[in-house]
Amino acid sequence: MIETFEKIEDIEIRLLLEALYVRYHYDFRNYAMGSIKRRLRQAREQMGFATISALQERVLHDETMLPRLLDYLTVQVSEMFRDPSYFRAIREKVVPHLKTYPSLKVWIAGCSCGEEVYSLAILFREEGLEDRTIFYATDINQDALRAAEAGVYDLDRIQLFTENHRKSGGKSSLSDYYHASYGRVSFDRSLRERVVFSDHSLVTDAVFGEMHLISCRNVMIYFDRPLQDRAVGLFSDSLARKGFFGIGSKESLRFSAHAEEFKEFVREEKIYQRLGK
C-alpha cells in the first residue's frame, strides 16, 4: 500500500506546482524534486493539512496562504561573507580586473535577506570601487527582498559575520557598518544607496542589463539540470565580454550545456570568466 501512497503524493505535488504556476505565476515545476518534496511534506504537516491536495485547495482559493507556502518552497539560508575564501578570491583576483572599468554593474541573483549584498557592498567600498558600481539584488521571495532592503539582522549572527569578514581579507572592521540596538543590528543605509532591489525570477524572467560580475550562489542547486541550463544561459547572455561569474562552493558548471562559454578563473572558488562573445 505504501507504494500507491507515494505515487499519489507525486501526483499531488505535480498538480500543486501546476496550480501555483497557473494561479500565481510562481514556477517551481522544474525545481529539483527531492528537496521540493521534503519541503512540501513539511509545509503540509506544519500547516496542518491531511494531504497535499487539501493544501492545494486552500492556496488556490486563499491568496494570503501564498507567502507562507513560498517560505517553505524557497530556502533562505545565508550568511555574510559565506565561504570567506570566495570573497577573498573576488578581492584578490577579480577586483584588479574590475578596477580597469570606469563603471561597473554587479548582479547578486537569489540574494535572500541581503547577506551577500552587504558583503559585496562592503568589499567594494574597501577596495574603492563602490562609487562606480550599481548593484542589482534580485530574488523571488518578497519577504526576503524586504528584509534585504531593511538590512537588519539578529545580533547573535554578528559574531559569525565578523569572523567571516575578517577571513575574507576585510580591510576595515565590520562594526564600522552597523549599529546595534535591542538585540538586532542595522546596516548603514549608505551601503544600499547604490543597490537596486527587485523581484526577478531566473526561471521566468529575462536579461535586464550587461553585467561585469554576477554572483549566484546556492540558488541553482534547487533547480533540475535543464532548468540550470536555462539559468546559466541567462547569466551567459547577461555578462559583458570577460565578465565574471561566481557560484556556490559545491556547484559546478561541469555538467552545464553552457560550460564551454566560460573558463575557470579561480577554480577552487568556482569563479568563472565569460569567454569572448
Partner 1 sequence: MTPASPRAIVIGASAGALEALSVILPSLPHDFRSPIIIVVHIPPDKRSVLAELFRAKCKIQVIEVEDKEPLRPATAYFAPPDYHLLIEDRETLGLTCEEPVLFSRPSIDVMFESAADIYGRDVTAVLLTGANQDGAKGLLAIAEAGGEVILQDPGGAFAAAMPEAGLKLCPDATVMSLDGISEHLRRIG
Ligand X SMILES: C[S@@+](CC[C@H](N)C(=O)[O-])C[C@H]1O[C@@H](n2cnc3c(N)ncnc32)[C@H](O)[C@@H]1O
- Kindly tell me which of 168 and 218 has the beta carbon lying closer to ligand X: 218
- Select the span of 38-46, 136-144, 182-190, 256-264 touching ligand X (CB under 6 A): 136-144
Q: Is 251 a residue that touches ligand X (CB under 6 A)? A: no
Q: Which of the choices partner 1, ligand X, none does residue 259 contact, using the CB cut-off of 5 to 8 A by kind?
A: none
The strand ranges marked E within the chain are: 104-109, 133-139, 152-154, 178-181, 184-187, 195-199, 211-216, 239-247, 262-266, 271-274
- In the bound state, the residue with its beta carbon closest to ligand X is 110
Q: Is 32 a residue that touches partner 1 (CB under 8 A)? A: yes
Residue indicated by cell numbers 542589463: 209
Residues 6-45: x/- map of binding to ligand X (CB under 6 A)?
A: ----------------------------------------
Beta-bridge partner residues of 213 = 106, 244
Inter-residue contact 252 to 270 (CB < 8 Å): yes
Q: Write out the three cell numbers for 220.
A: 541553482
Q: DSSP letters along 235-262, please?
A: HHHHEEEEEEEEE-TT--STT-TTGGGE
Beta-bridge partner residues of 239 = 211
Residue 169: C-alpha distances to residues 174, 249, 250 (Å)? 12, 18, 22
- Kindly tell me which of 127 and 139 has the beta carbon lying closer to partner 1: 139
Q: Which member of 166, 225, 263, 267 binds partner 1 (CB under 8 A)?
A: 225
Q: Is 259 a residue that touches ligand X (CB under 6 A)? A: no
Inter-residue contact 174 to 161 (CB < 8 Å): yes
Among 70, 55, 80, residue whose Cα is nearest residue 201: 70
- Select the span of 29-37, 87-95, 99-107, 145-153 touching partner 1 (CB under 8 A): 29-37
Residue 135 C-beta: closest distance to partner 1, Å: 23
Residue 174 C-beta: closest distance to ligand X, Å: 17
The span from the CA of 135 to the CA of 114, in Å, is: 12
Q: Write out the three cell numbers for 169.
A: 581579507
Q: Is 39 a residue that touches partner 1 (CB under 8 A)? A: yes
Q: Which of the choices partner 1, ligand X, none does residue 63 contact, using the CB cut-off of 5 to 8 A by kind?
A: none
Residue 248 C-beta: closest distance to partner 1, Å: 8
The span from the CA of 3 to the CA of 177, in Å, is: 55
- Select the span of 60-68, 75-83, 86-94, 268-276 touching ligand X (CB under 6 A): 75-83
Residue 256 C-beta: closest distance to partner 1, Å: 9
Residue 191: C-alpha distances to residues 96, 188, 244 (Å)? 21, 6, 22
Residues that bind partner 1 (CB under 8 A): 2-3, 6, 32-35, 37-39, 75, 77, 218, 220-222, 224-225, 228, 248, 250-252, 254-255
Residues that bind ligand X (CB under 6 A): 74-78, 82, 109-110, 112, 115-116, 139-141, 144, 201-203, 217-219, 222, 248
